[in-house]
Every structure is written in C-alpha cells, then in structure tokens.
A and B are shown apart, each in its own frame.
Chain A
Amino acid sequence: MDHAAPSPVPLGQAEVSQALQRLHMTIFSQSVSPCGKFLAAGNNYGRIAIFSLSAALSSEAKEESKKPMVTFHAHDGPVYSMVSTDRHLLSAGDGEVKGWLWAEILKKGCKELWRRQPPYRTSLEVPEINALLLVPKENSLILAGGDCQLHTMDLETGTFTRALRGHTDYIHCLALRDRSPEVLSGGEDGAVRLWDLRIAKEVQTIEVYKHEECSRPHNGRWIGCLATDSDWMVCGGGPALTLWHLRSSTPTTVFPIRAPQKHVTFYQDLILSAGQGCCVNHWQLSGELKAQVPGSSPGLLSLSLNQQPAAPECKVLTASGNSCRVDVFTNLGYRAFSMSF
C-alpha cells in the first residue's frame, strides 16, 4: 500500500446521482419556526430540510451545524410555498397543502398531520399552489396558484370557505394588508387585485402593465412578487419594481433595476428585494439603491427575515434560490455564511 499518495476512490452511482441532484436543486421556499431557532427550506424535489439557526450562529459552529438537522420527503412535486403558525408548519406545492407539527419535526418524527386539497373546478388536472398566506384574525389560510382562484381554508375545521375568482391567469404571490382584512394577489395576468375578505369580493384592481412608467413589455406582464405596508404596495416581476400608493392607485417610485425581482419585502425603512441577479438589493423608499449584497446562488427566489421575538439572537435574513445553499446574512450588510442541503 502506498502511504505517500492516496489512491483515488471510484465514485459510486449513488454519489454521482446525489451530486447531480445537489447541482440542479432549487430551494423555493423558507419558513422560520415559531421559536425562531430553526429554519425550514423546501426544494424542487419535494424535500424539506430543517436547519438549526441557533447552532449555526453560535460561536462554536462547525461544518456540521451548517447542514440540515433533518430532511424529509414532503410532497411529490416541488414545495413552492411554506408558512408557519405558532405550532404548525404548512407546506404546499403539488396541489395539496400539508400540515406538520414543529415539535414532531424537531424530534425527527416527520409524519404529516393532515393534508387537504382545495376544491378545484376540474378534477382532471391538479394545479400547483404557488402561495400561502396566513390570516391570523380569522385563523385561516389562503391558498392561490394554478387555478386562478384564491381559496380560503379555516385552520380549525379544515373546510374551504371561499373561492375568490377574478384572475384570468395563475396567481404567483399573495400579501396581507394588516389594517383592513384585505388580501392582495398578483399573477401572471399582470394585475394586482385587492380582495375584501368580509364581503369576499374584489375591491380594487391595478393593472400594472398599463402604466407607462413601470411597464416593460419585453419582460412580459407577470407579477412575480408583492409586499404591502398598509397604504403602500411594492410589486415587481415583468414590469419594473414599483412602489404604489394604494388609495390612489398611482405608481410613486420606480426602482431602477433591470432584472425581474422574485421576492420583495418591507423591512424598517427599507425595501429588500431579490431576483434574477445574485444580490439582495436594499432600497430606500425614494428609489435609491442603498446596498447590493451578493449571495451565493446565481438567482434568488425567496427571502426570509427571522423576526420571531423569542429568539432575538437568531435575527437574520436568509436567502435561497437556484442552488442548494441558503445564505445567512447576520448583519444585513454582508453574507456571513451559507448553509446547504
């Protein structure tokens, strides 16, 4: 045996396929646990991985702390969207929404608690669910996706109470307006629609692509991301990322970035957005770019801010996208490290 030079280990079939899987992985969704110490990430193979943020952020973090604590198979298709209530993790992707108990998952017992499918009009095809939204005031969950409708599901009973129709093409994203119980939805048809939950009707429609300041016909008219701050809304995608004043339905600021943005959120006095470029962009409401922080994935699809009050030391921004890595930004200004599947 030669001790000087190690002999090359032949790669087995399993390792090759694993490496290929990791190369082609996309992480679509993230969700923070109610205690704030764990992060769930769902990928395009239907698996969900749970990372321990407190372990990865602690001072004696090793390489293993940046690997998932547990991964389990959740859906047959990609996990497009996840939200957490104070005890459950809800995940949705291939037409079904499943509920998991956080306590069970953390003990590595990954059995789904329940699964529900909203009433679709055609039973032939099962449309995907692109977005989930929790409405805490009425303890319900809103699902929206391929069938162009918003379904409301009561979390106590599991029944589907409303189906809001209005979009003419599939819905990408949802946002909740705190003060009045209104939901905003943006979709492929280029319109942002406001729905009043009490009367279950559409109250306002903003057709973004019809406004000259923000429309970019060469990118299309789809609305990929939506965020709202009661009176204001920011949306982007095909048209440019724009800040709208909802009461008057006027676009006030257009953010000068060419790449379509896939996720946007309000944070303190900034707007954080991420999309086709590999950077997380920090914007001020006046339209100035305050910072552009590069991440490790070539394109970003989801941002998550851990603002759970129970774990202030894990208050980080995590970003994920077209790779198997989840970037962690401890101080919003730079990428501290990445966790990977």
Chain B
Amino acid sequence: MKTKAPHLDSDTVGELDEVIRKRLLIDGDGAGDDRRINLLVKSFIKWCNSGSQEEGYSQYQRMLSTLSQCEFSMGKTLLVYDMNLREMENYEKIYKEIECSIAGAHEKIAECKKQILQAKRIRKNRQEYDALAKVIQHHPDRHETLKELEALGKELEHLSHIKESVEDKLELRRKQFHVLLSTIHELQQTLENDDKLSEVDETQESAMEADPKP
C-alpha cells in the first residue's frame, strides 16, 4: 500500500533515491513483505476494533497466518544469507587453489623450458655426431686396411726371404768358382814351374857334359 507521494523538491530527491534504493534492495524477495507488515498492523487495529467474537476470531486467525508467513519469509532470507556466506567461503577456497595451481603450472613451464633446452643440446650433439659419422663412413674400414697391410707385410717378408736365399746361393757358387779358378791357376803355375825346372835341369846337364872332359 503506497502512502501519498511526497513533495519532490531538490533536497528530498537525493534522500528519496536512497530510500527507494534501500527499499528495492531489502525487498529482494519481491511481492511485498513490507506490504504484509503494513497489512498486519492495519488488521491488528481492525481486530482491536472488531465487534463480534467470530469476526474477531477469524481476524485473529488471519493475523496469525500473516505473522507465520512473515516468519517463514524471514527464515528463508536468513537461510539464503547463510548460503551466500558459505558460497563466498567456497569461492575463496577455489580461488586460492587456482592460484596455487597457476604457480605450479608456471614452475612446470620453467622446468619444461629447461628440459627443452637440454633436449635441443642433445639433438645438436647427435646431429654433429651423425655428420662426422657420415664423413668417416666414406673412408674404408680400419680393420680391413690393417688386414691388407698385414697380408702385404707377410708377402714382403716372404719375398725378402727368397731374395736372401737366392743371394746366399749366388755367394756360394761364386766362392766355389773362385776356389776352382784359383786351384786351376795354381796347377798351371805348378806345371809351368815344373816345365821351367825341367828346362833348367836340361841346360845344366848339357853344361856339365861339356865341362868334365879335360
């Protein structure tokens, strides 16, 4: 039930706004709790002024029902208030949890960035290794080359042995020929000597024959 509209001069306009705001806020439930209380007051007055017993009784019942309605709506408002408080707490909790998980995620990101750098270094090392390995592959295997070297070495030794033995044989032959030739020379010498000796003997004999005659 509205009272008559107040005078709208400049002073009261501000107050009026405030009051209207407060009333609108309070009456959040809607459908006139305020109205009910005014009605209750009016019905109380009516009940006090009521005539008959029955009318009074019915008026009384009506008032009790209005009162219980008011109580009910107040209880509801209190429960809603409680609920809001608890929701706020819940939100605070969730907010803190999210902050923690954000900080955790930041740390994980930093950790992962370090890991990425490490992995990049590893990849770089692997690629360097691969690049060198490719170059090395072009050159022949060391074992094979060593084996070839060994075989060649053995052949060389073998051939040098043969060469040595051949040279020894050659030396021996040479020496034998030398001995042979020197023996032949000696024999020749001896024969010549013998010839000379026999010549000298003959001349000596002829000289001796001429001599012992006198």
A contacts, CB < 8 Å to B: 231-232, 243, 245, 248, 250, 252-253, 268-269, 284-286
Contacts and interface: CB of A to CB of B under 8 A. Distances in A.
Contacts of B134: 252
B117 interface: yes
B135 A269 contact: no
B109 to A, nearest CB: 14
B132 A269 contact: no
A269 B127 CA distance: 9
B123 A269 contact: yes
B124 interface: yes
A253 B131 contact: yes
Given A245-B131, A269-B127, A285-B127, 15 more contacts: A232-B128, A243-B131, A245-B132, A245-B135, A252-B131, A252-B135, A268-B117, A269-B121, A269-B124, A284-B127, A285-B124, A285-B131, A286-B127, A286-B130, A286-B131
Contact of B128 (A248, A250, A268, A285): A285
Contacts of B135: 245, 248, 250, 252
Per CB-CB distance, the 8 closest pairs between chain A and chain B, nearest first, are A285-B127, A269-B124, A252-B131, A269-B120, A286-B127, A268-B120, A269-B123, A250-B135
A231 B120 CA distance: 18
Contacts of A231: 128
Contacts of B130: 285-286
6 contacts: A231-B128, A248-B135, A269-B124, A285-B128, A285-B130, A285-B131
Interface string B102-129: 0000000000000001001101100110
A160 B123 CA distance: 42
Interface string B132-151: 10110000000000000000
A284 B123 CA distance: 9
A231 B132 CA distance: 11
Interface in B174-192: none
A284 B121 CA distance: 12
Interface string B61-93: 000000000000000000000000000000000
A329 to B, nearest CB: 18
A252 B121 contact: no
Nearest to B127: A285
A171 B145 CA distance: 42
Contacts of A243: 131
A252 B138 CA distance: 11
